[in-house]
Structure 1
Amino acid sequence: MPALEIDDLRVTYRGSRGDIPAVRGISFSLEPGDTLGLAGESGCGKSTVAAAVLRLLPADTEVTGRILVDGEDILTMSFGKLRAVRWAGASIVFQGAMHSLNPVHRIGRQIAEPIVLHENVTAEAAEKRAVELMSQVGLPAWRARSYPHELSGGQRQRVMIAMALACAPQLIIADEATTALDVMIQAQVLKLLKGLVSERGIALVMISHDLSVLADTCEQLAVMYAGKLVEQGPSKEVFAAAKHPYAAALSAAFPTVGDPAERRNPHGLAGDPPDPSALPTGCPFHPRCPVVMDECSSATVELRHARPDWRAACLRVEDRAATTTTTAMALGEA
C-alpha cells in the first residue's frame, strides 16, 4: 500500500480579489522508502501541497481530489482521526525551525510532547525516548534541557527532524527544511534525512526550489509550475536533461563549479511566474518559453511520456526525448 497517494488534488484559496487556484490537479504516489523531490519557483504551489496533505490550510480553502495516507483519505476523515494521523502517520518539517519551536519550553519536552499525546506512555518514558531521538539526529543528551534560542540553526533543524520522527511515521514532508542553513550544515541535514529513509523505510517528500539538492537527495523529481506538475522522472536524469523547457531552465540556473565561462555569463530565466488568478491560456509557461510555438498559447498540454518512467507536459516532449544529452545517457547506463 502506498504511504502517500495524491489523486487530482486541487486547492483554491478564497481572497478579496476572487478565487486563486493554487494547485490545479496534481497526482503522484509514494511507496514506503520512496523519495520524491518537489521543485519550482516561489508561488508554484509546493507548500500548498504540503499543507494540504495534513489539512493545515485555512478553513475557507476549497480542496478537492483525494489524499490517501496509508490508504485513508485525509480530506474526508474526522478531526479526531486526523489528529491521530498527524505525527503518528505523517509529519512535516517546516522551513525556519525557530518559528516552529516554542521559545519558552525546553527542547526535550517539545520532542516528548507528541509521544505523550499519541502513545500510551508516561512522561518519563517519553522524555527518555526524546533523548534517544536526539542521539539519532546527532544532538547530545544534555541539549534536552536547552531552549530553542540556545541552539544553532542546524541544531534547531535537527530538533524538528527528531520531533517528526517521534511517533515513527511512515511519511515525512520536508518543506524547505534546509533553505535557511549554511552549506556545511545543509549537507549534514540532507545526509541525516537520506540515512533515516534508508534505515526506517520512510517515504520522504522533500520540497525545495534547489534542484541540485533534490537531485542529490531524492530518487524521483517532480517540477511544478503555476499549480501543476510539468515534469516528473528520475531525479538525476531530469536535472541533467529535462524535457520541459521550464525544468530545463531551472536546471541551467545552477552553474558548473570551476567553469569561468558560466561565472561570467550566468544563466537565468526571464520574466516572472503568472498570477494564479489570471493565468494565460494554453500552456501557462508559454509567455516565458524560449522554444514556444504558436499552438502553445491555446493547447492544453497534460503530462505525456518521454519514456515509461519519465513524463513532461510539453508539446515538444517527443523532440526533446529524442535529443537526450550524453550526460543523461551516461546516468541511465550507470
Structure 2
Amino acid sequence: MDDLRITYRGSRGEVPAVRGISMSLEPGDTLGLAGESGCGKSTVAGAILRLLPRETQVTGRIVLDGDDVLTMSFGKLRAVRWAGASIVFQGAMHSLNPVHRIARQIAEPIVLHEGLSSDAAEKRAVELMAQVGLPAWRASSYPHQLSGGQRQRVMIAMALACSPQLIIADEATTALDVMIQAQVLALIKRLVAERNIALVMISHDLSVLADTCDRLAVMYAGKLVEDGPSHEVFAAARHPYAQALSAAFPTVGDPAERRNPHGLAGDPPDPSNLPTGCSFHPRCPVVRDDCASTSVELRRARDDWRAACLRVEEVA
C-alpha cells in the first residue's frame, strides 16, 4: 500500500477519510490497526478489496501479488476477492445469508473460484468447519441456530475457503464475550501461522492486537501516527495518542483504577474540518507551540519503529 488517500463525497462536499497511508505485509506477517471510531481503519479495509461506495475517490496504490487492486478490471477483481484476499466483518449475523444453510454459504466461493461441484465444495466446507472447531452436524444449520462465536467461526471458515494470501479481520471479535473472543483470537493466530497467511486485524483494543499481531499501527484522523513492534508499542508508545490508547486499557482488580479510570478527553476531529499542523494537538497532553503549525509525518524512533510526533525522543 503506497500513499493511499481516500475521500468521500457527500452533501457536505469532499471529506478526507484517509490521508496518505503507506504500509506493506509479507506472507505470514500480522498487522494490528488501531484507533478510535472515525479514524479511517475500516475505510482502509474496504479499499483493499474495493468495497467502498462507487463515488468515493481513492488514489495511491494497493498492490496484491504484483497487481494494483485500484486499477484492476472488475473481472480480475472478482477473481481476487476470496481467492487473493478475504475479509471477516464485525457482524457475522448481518454478513451471513439467513435463508441458506452454513455449508452452502462456505461452499459458495469454492464453487465460484475453484470450479468444484456443489457436493465436492460442501465436503470441503465441512473440512473447513472442523478446522475452526465446528462439528460436522452443524453444516445443515441456519445462521440463527448458531451462537455469536459459532457464526464468527463460520465467517473465518469462509475467509479461508479459497486459501487467500491476505485476511482482513475488521472488528471480528468485538461483539463476542471475553471467553469466546479468546477462543476466536487463538484460532485466528493458529490458522494464520499454519497457512502462512498475511493478516490485518482491526480493533479498538490495543491489548487484543498486541497479543495477536507482530506489528501494531495506530491511526488518528486518517493518518498513521505510530507503527512498530506490537508489544513494545502497547507497553511504551512513542506518540501521545498511542500512549493514551494504551493507558485506557484497565488493570483488572485494581480498585484505584476502577475509581479513577484513565481516558482521553475530547473526540477525534471532524474530517471535513481538520486542525492545522498536527491533527492531535488540540487533545495532546504534551503539546508545544509549534505543533499547531507543523504537519508531522512518521519519523524514525528506531529502525523498526516510527511515530509522527515532534517530541518522539522526549516522549520516549
Scaled to the shorter chain, the TM-score interval is: over 0.9
The match for 1:263 among 241, 258, 261 is 258
Are residue 21 (structure 1) and residue 26 (structure 2) matched? no
Task: Measure the CA separation in 1 of the matches of 2:271 and 2:87.
Answer: 25
Name the counterpart of 1:46: 41
**What is the RMSD of the two structures over their aligned residues, measured on CA atoms?**
0.6
Identity among equivalent positions (%) equals 85
Are residue 223 (structure 1) and residue 218 (structure 2) matched? yes
Name the counterpart of 2:292: 297
Q: Report the AA paired with residue 23 of structure 1.
A: V
Task: Measure the CA separation in 2 of the matches of 1:54 and 1:149.
Answer: 28
Name the counterpart of 1:325: none
TM-aligned CA deviation for residue 263 of structure 1: 1.6
Deviations 1:4-58 (A, max 9, x none): xx00000000010110000000000000000000000000000000000000000
1:287 alignment partner, SS class? coil
TM-aligned CA deviation for residue 255 of structure 1: 1.6
Give the total of aligned pairs: 316
Name the counterpart of 1:56: 51
Deviations 1:272-328 (A, max 9, x none): 10000000000000000000000000001000011010000000002223xxxxxxx
**1:234-245 paired onto structure 2 within 5 Å:** 234-245=229-240
Q: Report the AA paired with residue 64 of structure 2.
A: V
Name the counterpart of 1:278: 273
Task: Measure the CA separation in 1 of the matches of 2:146 and 2:214.
Answer: 32
Name the counterpart of 2:177: 182
Are residue 122 (structure 1) and residue 121 (structure 2) matched? no
Residue pair 2:240, 2:315 contacting (<8 A) in 1 also: no
The match for 1:148 among 140, 143, 158 is 143
Task: Measure the CA separation in 1 of the matches of 2:128 and 2:255.
Answer: 44
Q: Report the AA paired with residue 175 of structure 1.
A: D
Task: Measure the CA separation in 1 of the matches of 2:217 and 2:107.
Answer: 34
TM-aligned CA deviation for residue 256 of structure 1: 1.6
Task: Measure the CA separation in 2 of the matches of 1:31 and 1:291.
Answer: 36
Query: How does the TM-score come out when normalised to structure 2?
Result: 0.99
Name the counterpart of 2:92: 97
Q: Which contiguous aligned blocks of 4+ residues in structure 1 show a shift greater than 6 angstroms?
A: none
